[in-house]
Amino acid sequence: MVSASSTKRPNLKPLGAANRRSGPAPELSRDALVDHALDLADREGLDAVAIRRIATDFGVTPMALYWHVKNKDELLDAMGDRIFDALTVPSADGDWLDQVRAAVVSLVDALRRHPGSVDLAMPRVLISPPAQALAERTLGLLRDAGFSVREASDLARQALLTAMILVTGRPGAEVDTPEPERAAKVQAKRAAVATLPADLFPNLIACADALTDCDDVDQYYGSGIDLYVAGVKELHAARH
């Protein structure tokens, strides 16, 4: 007898509501399910990820999805793991601080692929093999540089938090809002600032557009990463 987990099923692009199935859909795969859930979170927010909604998108019954994931929690875990699949462990060449920076760049690049699912990263960072490998390298770099176990752990955690905040906090991203509503949300923020008295809030008014839109994404992420690395460097100099 062939188990459900060993049955080969090629990928399927989401279909309409027709042709629903209650058994294992031959076109549906775990990879296709996870990819679609990540895309859905990017477009509509993480709250939009629901088994029934995704089943409708694929044109199958919810039971068909349970051949690939046991429940929504397992799907969310798989989404978090998929984000970390894009990680790369920095080369061991060069200065330790440059390698730490490369680790943070890798984190940011991985999270930027699916900003709607950034919140899934923290619960999986010690469980996903690619994240484990990056954490091991980063902790090793920090400890070899002279930081204690506690200091290295705190700095590694801050690296992940920095990456998460940079992605979710990018001006204009509004990742917690469905895509069609994001522009209106940004405009509402600008309109609120525009009503402020210019003599009391000249800087807030002058910076309103920059605070609500990102016209240079690379510069935005680069500056944020540089700020973290500068903090590590200063802390190292103060402690050692």
Residues 6+ apart with CB under 8 A from 145: 96, 97, 236, 240
Residue 10 pLDDT: 36
Give domain 4-69's CATH superfamily: Homeodomain-like (1.10.10.60)
Residue pair 151/142 in contact by the 8 Å Cβ criterion: yes
- Segment 20-36 shows an average pLDDT of 71
User: Is the pLDDT score of 14 beyond 90?
Assistant: no
Domain ranges of the chain: 4-69, 88-170+214-239, 179-212
Residue 93 has pLDDT above 80, yes or no: yes
Residue 7 has pLDDT above 50, yes or no: no
Helices 149-168 and 217-239: angle between axes, nearest 10 degrees: 160
> pLDDT, tens digit, for every residue of 185-239?
999 999 999 999 999 999 999 999 999 999 999 999 999 999 999 999 999 999 8
CATH assignment of 88-170+214-239, among 1.20.59, 3.40.50, 1.10.357, 1.10.3470: 1.10.357
Write down the residue that tokens 């058994």 correspond to.
Answer: 23
63 CB-contact burial (10 Å; exposed 0-12 / middle 13-18 / buried 19+): middle
